[in-house]
Chains A and B, each alone.
Chain A
């Protein structure tokens, strides 16, 4: 029986400062992240003791230096927020990792709350810059010059499912899901074949099938084995193949279909061999074909289009959902997945209000027709970039949303609430409310632990190895009874 698909996303944003000749991305990131102020501002460490990004899911440990910053740098680069999220500086990009949620709809709410938080801090940070300069943030994945940065998805998986099974059944799904999850890109890069427009921002950057790397020679399936939970019971599948999506519907469908397929893999329900002859080549071919007509070659010699490949998964998923009780949102995922694939078969233009790559393509083509310009023009490339601009008054996705041209999945009120309130049904609730209540006494935080510095006593670390424990139902009473962290620790022991 598949385990609950607890999930979250980590978005690395593009950052630049307009009119700054000496733009330095790292100091700009530090300025940005520290410009965000919550009501209770505490100096809290990110607890690197619990991190191990060099463990490989195939069962070995890779040599390499683990990054651990000193205390001052740690506090300057990491913010743990009251909504349970982590907002921080990762290399040369600001990154927002949303709190753990249990379903794709909450994921949309929390990923979008992250956009608002970054936009709030962008405004604050911009105000601190010299006259004439402005900080800009893009929720995208490349600069169109061969530099890429990721937006990663995480899904909780059962440790008993072998990594080999996951790789085998996921590879064809990942090579083809971009027909509805792609964020769209003008042109190509990283020595890929030239094209006017492609489905995905990231496809040009995948060079190998399976590996631990995330920054060079990127793999379609990443093997990082860092569960941030009980490692005897769980894996955290770290998905690096996706794009940073703007459309709520696209985010929802991407998360829903992927989580469903992962549950199927855990239950052995992907019973067909859909293995591709050359996944790395296929992911690029699919991305470079907005007509969706080209086919890719399977290991068994058959050829299928990306939409047909997805339809194979859908058919298996329908049988799977009909035959057992799973997540309550599975049936809705099936309905939307099916209607999306049908529309892609008929005419992708039907999805011009909900699938990112189609929304962007239609918008640009209309603009080109009106202006008499082509894909090479600077204005078109600007539109490609500005679609992802977080400024509500300048971002083209925001403009389309404001004018009612895109389909919403959640409400603004829900997004606003998630800026300060954690999800109620995961351990993020405990993390967030500990920060709200005992912020001054919190010493360090990681996904699966929180430690308290109480007076002169040794640091007390509370482990949260179960992502679904620490929910409101579990701990609201406990938090209510504990007026400070000392009492909380006492009550936890009792």
Chain B
């Protein structure tokens, strides 16, 4: 695989911070907030691009069987 993926760490376990110390808890809370904001903006964007008239679209989506 390429180097580009090595830079990204798996979601949810970015460092060894357990959040038990005061400093750690603050850091974690901050990170949590940032993540929440990121997710909020992602959900907004999904809401924006989602096909209008979803019900009709889904109903009319019929394919012929293939292999």
Q: Are A363 and B46 in contact (CB under 8 A)?
A: yes
Collect the chain B residues with CB atoms within 8 Å of residue A408's CB: 2, 4-5, 8
What is the CB-to-nearest-CB distance from A300 to chain B, in angstroms, rounded to a whole number? 34
Would you call A147 and B62 a contact (CB within 8 A)? Answer: yes
Partner of A353, one of B10, B43, B47, B61: B10
Contacts of A410 in B (CB 8 A): 1-2
Instruction: Kindly identify which residue among B2, B54, B65 contacts A215, using a CB–CB cutoff of 8 Å.
Output: B65
> Which B residues are CB-close (under 8 A) to A324?
none
A144 touches B (CB below 8 Å) = yes
Number of interface residues of B (CB under 8 A): 30
Shortest Cβ gap from B65 to chain A (Å): 5
- Any A CB within 8 A of the CB of B67: yes
Binds B, one of A60-68, A88-96, A171-179: A88-96
Report the Cα distance A152→B49, complex, angstroms: 30
- State whether A399 touches B45 (Cβ < 8 A): yes
Which of A117-125, A279-287, A377-385 is found at the contact surface with chain B? A377-385
Query: Does any Cβ of B come within 8 Å of A316's Cβ?
Result: no
The answer on a CB contact under 8 Å between B64 and A93 is: yes
B42 at the interface (CB under 8 A from A): yes
If A353-B11, A382-B57, A411-B2 touch, whether A92 touches B66 (CB-CB below 8 Å) is: yes
Select which of B12, B43, B58 is within 8 A of A144 by beta carbon. B58
Chain A residues 389-405 with CB under 8 Å of chain B are 393-394, 396, 399-400, 403-405
Tell me, in angstroms, the Cα distance from A149 to B12 when the chains sit together.
35
- The answer to whether A407 has its CB under 8 Å from any CB of chain B is yes
Alpha-carbon gap, A355 to B4, bound state (A): 17
Please judge, given known A-B contacts A350-B13, A405-B42, A409-B2, whether A16 and B64 are in contact too, CB under 8 Å. Answer: no
Q: How many A-B residue pairs have CB under 8 A?
A: 127
Q: Which residues of A contact B34 (CB under 8 A)?
A: none
Closest CB in chain B relative to A335 CB, distance in Å = 10
The answer to whether A454 has its CB under 8 Å from any CB of chain B is no
Q: Are A12 and B12 in contact (CB under 8 A)?
A: no
Taking CB atoms and an 8 Å cut-off, the chain B residues in 1-24 that contact chain A are: 1-2, 4-5, 8, 10-13
B5 A143 Cβ-Cβ under 8 A? no
CA distance A295 to B62 in the complex (A): 34
Interface range, A side = 35 or more
Q: Whole-angstrom distance from the CB of B5 to the nearest CB of chain A?
A: 5
Question: Closest residue to B63 on the A side, CB-wise?
Answer: A143
Residue contact A407 to B5, C-beta cutoff 8 Å? yes
Chain B residues with CB under 8 Å of A386's CB are 49-51
Question: Is B66 a contact partner of A393 (Cβ separation < 8 A)?
Answer: no
CB contacts (< 8 Å) of A252 on chain B: these are: 1
Verify if A272 is at the interface (C-beta below 8 Å from B): no
Contact at A147–B58, with CB atoms within 8 Å? Answer: no
Q: How far is the CA of A143 from the CA of B42 in the complex (A)?
A: 26
The one of A25, A349, A353, A393 in contact with B49, judged by C-beta atoms closer than 8 angstroms, is A393
Given the known inter-chain contacts A91-B64, A367-B46, A408-B4, please indicate yes or no for A382 contacting B58, CB distance below 8 A.
yes
Per the bound structure, the CA–CA distance linking A90 and B13 in Å amounts to: 44
Distance in Å: Cβ of B43 to nearest Cβ of chain A: 5
Q: Which of B43, B63, B65 has the most CB of A within 10 A?
A: B63
Task: Please measure, in the bound complex, the distance between the C-alpha atom of A403 and the C-alpha atom of B64, giving whole angstroms.
Answer: 34
The answer to whether the Cβ of B25 comes within 8 Å of any Cβ in the partner chain is: no
Cα(A379)–Cα(B57), bound, Å:
10
- B4 pairs with A411, CB closer than 8 A: yes
Chain A residue nearest to B64 (CB atoms) is A92
* Interface pair A143/B49, CB less than 8 Å apart: no
Indicate whether A215 sits within 8 Å of B43 (C-beta atoms), given known contacts A396-B49, A407-B5, A411-B4: no
B17 to A: closest C-beta gap in Å: 16
A-B contact pairs, 17 of them (CB 8 A): A16-B61, A16-B63, A105-B1, A147-B64, A147-B66, A149-B65, A150-B67, A349-B11, A353-B8, A379-B50, A382-B58, A383-B46, A383-B50, A385-B57, A396-B46, A408-B2, A411-B4
7 pairs of A and B residues whose beta carbons are closest in the complex: A149-B66, A378-B55, A382-B54, A92-B64, A214-B67, A143-B63, A150-B67
